[in-house]
Amino acid sequence: MDAASTMKIKDNTFSRQFETIVDQGLVSVEYSFQEKKIFLTKINVPESFEDEEFVSNFLKNIMEIAIEQKLKVVPILPKIVVFFKKNPIYKELLPPGIRL
């Protein structure tokens, strides 16, 4: 089983972030909502954490949440723009007018 399907993600609406736990601590992606759009604004990882594939899987899980909730995703962070470029299957989640 791959990491994406076993990941437990908490939508912490109070802190406005998606969270998951790794051995080194908390990994989170901060967001804000506006209309039916979710703006992904920041990725937080523990200092010693360098697993880019894990972060990519975490973002894939967040994209699935956006699909389920029928949200458009606005990538604010350059790292998330890169994610969209590497994973073109999620480009349908971008609001009209946003080009990467």
Can you give the residue range of the structural domain that contains 82? 9-93
Count of structural domains, the chain: 1
Name the β-bridge partners of 17. Answer: 12, 30
- When pLDDT is averaged across residues 61-67 and rounded to a whole number, the result is 96
The torsion angles phi and psi of 83, rounded to 5 degrees, stand at: -55, -45
In a domain, 3, yes or no: no
pTM: 0.90
In a domain, 4, yes or no: no
Residue 1 scores a pLDDT above 50: no
Q: Cβ distance 77 to 59 under 8 Å?
A: no
What CATH number did the domain enclosing 16 receive?
Answer: 3.40.630.30
Name the β-bridge partners of 73. Answer: 38
Q: Tokens standing for 81?
A: 């723009």
- When pLDDT is averaged across residues 42-49 and rounded to a whole number, the result is 95
